A and B are shown apart, each in its own frame.
Chain A
Amino acid sequence: QKEVEQNSGPLSVPEGAIASLNCTYSDRVSQSFFWYRQYSGKSPELIMSIYSNGDKEDGRFTAQLNKASQYVSLLIRDSQPSDSATYLCAVILRGRGSQGNLIFGKGTKLSVKP
């Protein structure tokens, strides 16, 4: 069973703090990893993708990937109330039968308090 696990939260942080969101995945064939943000009633919006072990930074966001531990995380620095949303971790498997469809976790709800 290919699973992506996330702590559902809610994760509450004060404005200006660092929010840390974590995700684990069960299938070692997973090779592409994504963080999407989803506001209530809206569609997923891509924040970052990461493919190699290590860190990838984009503005206030840093994605971290550790394939040996099957773990991917997202750090949000200087959190703003507008960052309050559900953050979805998603992976793409590789190998026979995979056509690049995303496998999503349930998401972590983040609340940034002013």
Chain B
Amino acid sequence: EPEVTQTPSHQVTQMGQEVILRCVPISNHLYFYWYRQILGQKVEFLVSFYNNEISEKSEIFDDQFSVERPDGSNFTLKIRSTKLEDSAMYFCASRQEDTQYFGPGTRLTVL
């Protein structure tokens, strides 16, 4: 069964460094999403992406964040200058009709 994949599973970085989180959505899906979940808190929407552009973003998704679909399969989230409060699980999801399928997540730790 097709599934969303994410790499790396765990990323440790120093505050102020740039990180790129990678996702491969399910191949015939057209809508892609990034969510994050700070430890012990709820899953929060960051951004949605459709037809090679951002379709909606939340207040969390400020100028430090960007997304890209550099080729036909990858979907990336870049954080330009990480802060301590960016430490969280980051989930990628792709959607078919109304159902979103989540990847396993990347745990980002900012030191």
Contact partners of B91 in chain A: CB under 8 A: 43-44
Q: Which residues in window 79-97 of B have CB below 8 A to A? A: 89, 91, 93, 95
Q: Does B101 contact A (CB under 8 A)?
A: yes
What does the 1/0 interface line of B27-41 toward A look like (CB < 8 Å)? Answer: 000010101000001
CA gap between A99 and B48 in the complex, in Å: 7
CA gap between A51 and B95 in the complex, in Å: 16
Interface pair A49/B98, CB less than 8 Å apart:
yes
Interface size on A, residues (CB 8 A): 24
Contact of B48 among A101, A106, A107 (CB under 8 A): A101
Please, which residue of chain B has its CB at the minimum distance from the CB of A106?
B42
Number of A-B residue pairs, CB cutoff 8 Å, is 56
Contact of A107 among B42, B89, B103 (CB under 8 A): B42
Interface pair A103/B45, CB less than 8 Å apart:
yes
Contact partners of B50 in chain A: CB under 8 A: 99
Interface pair B104/A102, CB less than 8 Å apart:
no
CA gap between A57 and B37 in the complex, in Å: 29
CA gap between A105 and B56 in the complex, in Å: 20
Contact partners of A32 in chain B: CB under 8 A: 98
Contact of B104 among A42, A51, A100 (CB under 8 A): A42
Q: Does A92 contact B (CB under 8 A)?
A: yes
Please, which residue of chain A has its CB at the minimum distance from the CB of B104?
A43
B37 to chain A, nearest CB (A): 9
Interface pair B102/A43, CB less than 8 Å apart:
yes
B109 to chain A, nearest CB (A): 13
Give B residues with C-beta under 8 Å from A: 31, 33, 35, 41-45, 48, 50, 55-56, 58, 89, 91, 93, 95, 98-105
